[in-house]
């Protein structure tokens, strides 16, 4: 009996750090091999786009922003948790007591991890650019909520800002939407 999409919950699978995408494909091929696609809706490695400057050239790169964690939207019925745990590189589920049940994420956590901005805030499309390069802003949404940063670049079409944020004493470039920041 296949469950509907709405009954599947998001879980976090702990994996060997640095091998998230490889382990994601291991899980996918194992699910396909055992014909369990009805139980697993989605497997996601949360990434962010970062701009790196190498030899004076800007390159866009996707970087895993929760190393060692893979999100799985699934119905963990019967053998499913055991099958996922037995995959090479998987350490276990997040939030489980040793040998206990995996704990699903709350919807608010899922929305934050998937970077969904409120539909309401997307409606005011033709706002003029409220930011200037060099201005200090505060991140109010996403994994870097609470950090201050400096606007390095403004992309009007995408309504995105390139922001340099100091994290653990190191400057890190982030791409954020206008809705994810506010003026200090």
91-121 tens-digit pLDDT? 999 875 666 778 898 888 888 777 654 444 4
Two domains, one topology: 5-113 and 120-183: no
Domain ranges of the chain: 5-113, 120-183
Q: Where are the alpha helices (DSSP H) in the chain?
A: 20-33, 80-85, 107-113, 119-123
Q: How far apart are the C-alpha atoms of 111 and 115, rounded to whole Å?
A: 6
Buried-exposed string 101-121: b where 16+ CB fall within 10 A, e elsewhere: ebebbeeeeeeebeeeeeeee
Q: How far apart are the C-alpha atoms of 156 and 58, rounded to whole Å?
A: 18
Q: How far apart are the C-alpha atoms of 184 and 177, rounded to whole Å?
A: 16
Q: How far apart are the C-alpha atoms of 69 and 12, rounded to whole Å?
A: 6
Residue 71 has pLDDT above 60, yes or no: yes
> CB atoms < 10 A from the CB of 151, how many?
19
Across the range 42-69, mean pLDDT stands at: 80
**What's the pTM?**
0.56
Q: Which of 10-14, 94-98, 129-133 has the highest mean pLDDT?
A: 10-14
What pLDDT shows up at residue 7? 77
Given 2.115.10.20, 3.40.50.150, 3.60.15.10, 2.30.30.30, which CATH number is that of 120-183?
Answer: 2.30.30.30
Q: End-to-end CA distance of the chain, in Å?
A: 53
Q: Could you read off the pLDDT of 143-169 as tens digits, one per residue? A: 888 899 999 998 887 888 999 998 888
Q: Write the class of the CATH domain 5-113.
A: alpha beta
Q: How far apart are the C-alpha atoms of 45 and 22, rounded to whole Å?
A: 10
């Amino acid at each position: 009996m296949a469950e509907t999409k709405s009954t599947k919950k998001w879980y976090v699978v702990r994996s060997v750090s640095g091998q998230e995408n490889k382990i994601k494909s291991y899980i996918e091929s194992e699910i396909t091999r055992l014909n369990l696609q009805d139980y697993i809706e989605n497997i996601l490695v949360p990434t962010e786009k970062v701009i790196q400057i190498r030899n004076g050239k800007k390159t866009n790169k996707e970087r895993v922003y929760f190393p060692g964690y893979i999100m799985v939207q699934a119905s963990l019925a019967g053998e499913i948790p055991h099958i996922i745990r037995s995959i090479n590189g998987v350490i276990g589920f997040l939030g489980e007591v040793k040998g206990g049940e995996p704990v699903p994420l709350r919807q608010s956590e899922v929305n934050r991890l998937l970077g969904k901005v409120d539909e309401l805030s997307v409606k005011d499309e033709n706002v003029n650019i409220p930011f200037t390069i060099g201005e200090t802003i505060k991140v109010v949404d996403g994994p870097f909520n609470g950090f201050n940063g400096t606007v390095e670049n403004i992309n009007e079409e995408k309504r995105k800002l390139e922001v340099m944020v100091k994290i653990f004493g190191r400057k890190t470039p982030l791409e954020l939407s206008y809705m994810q920041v506010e003026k200090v």
